A and B are shown apart, each in its own frame.
Chain A
Amino acid sequence: AQSVTQPDIHITVSEGASLELRCNYSYGATPYLFWYVQSPGQGLQLLLKYFSGDTLVQGIKGFEAEFKRSQSSFNLRKPSVHWSDAAEYFCAVGLTGTASKLTFGTGTRLQVTL
């Protein structure tokens, strides 16, 4: 069965600093990978996704992620964090077959200090 690990439960960065959130997955086939963001009291918003092709994908709000098959990773990055980026970030892997579903990691809470 597929699984997703987000090793960092909580990360604090200063505004303007760079950010990298880690995501590792376990899946036998080519994975479909997603990053979602959840602001406090809100639903989940898709930041970016990887299905195939270029392993560096660009998303909304200045985020990008790089798929590294050899490391089974899909880390999320942003060169300069804004205070409004404070939120919970979820990595997810998609499973194809008779039904599609997402398996989520446990999330990383990002705190931004001014």
Chain B
Amino acid sequence: DTAVSQTPKYLVTQMGNDKSIKCEQNLGHDTMYWYKQDSKKFLKIMFSYNNKELIINETVPNRFSPKSPDKAHLNLHINSLELGDSAVYFCASSGTSGSIETQYFGPGTRLLVL
């Protein structure tokens, strides 16, 4: 009965590869997010989608492309992976956009680029 789930939990890959991380929420929320947590534990928002529409894009390299096939899913595709992309990526969801609702986080995907 996981509210926000992510796959995979761990991802180890070589520089230059392309990889995807998937996120699903069963909370009926309209808004989903991707956050990046770096090695110093700093959390920063990357993207936000509301009803499959991109509403936040925070100065992220265009190698990162989110895709939302429906409002319960938000995937993150990363092209040409670089060493600096190593981090923990968290998906989150909340009830509505334009107002502050509590964000519920997934367990994270630990990406290591070698």
Decide: A96 and B99 in contact? CB cutoff 8 A: yes
User: What are the interface flags for A54-96 relative to B under an 8 Å C-beta threshold, 1 for contact and 0 otherwise?
Assistant: 0000000000000000000000000000000000101000111
Total number of A residues with any Cβ neighbor in B under 8 Å: 27
| Distance A98 CA – B45 CA, assembled complex (angstroms) | 15
Within 8 A of A (CB), among B86-106: 90, 92, 94, 96-106
Min CB gap B102→A, angstroms: 6
Decide: B56 and A101 in contact? CB cutoff 8 A: yes
**Nearest chain-B residue to A34 (Cβ)?**
B102
Decide: B99 and A100 in contact? CB cutoff 8 A: yes
Decide: A96 and B107 in contact? CB cutoff 8 A: no
Which segment, of B12-20, B35-43, B60-68, B70-78, faces chain A?
B35-43
Total number of B residues with any Cβ neighbor in A under 8 Å: 29
Within 8 A of B (CB), among A39-58: 42-46, 49, 51
**Chain A interface mostly helix, strand, loop or mixed?**
strand
Q: Which residues of B contact A104 (CB under 8 A)?
A: 42-44
Within 8 A of A (CB), among B16-63: 31, 33, 40-45, 48, 50, 55-56
Q: Which residues of A contact B33 (CB under 8 A)?
A: 101
Known: A90-B43, A107-B41. A49 touches B102 (CB 8 A): yes
Using CB atoms and an 8 Å cutoff, list the residues of chain A in contact with chain B. 32, 34, 36, 38, 42-46, 49, 51, 88, 90, 94-104, 106-107, 109
Using CB atoms and an 8 Å cutoff, list the residues of chain B in contact with chain A. 4, 31, 33, 40-45, 48, 50, 55-56, 90, 92, 94, 96-108
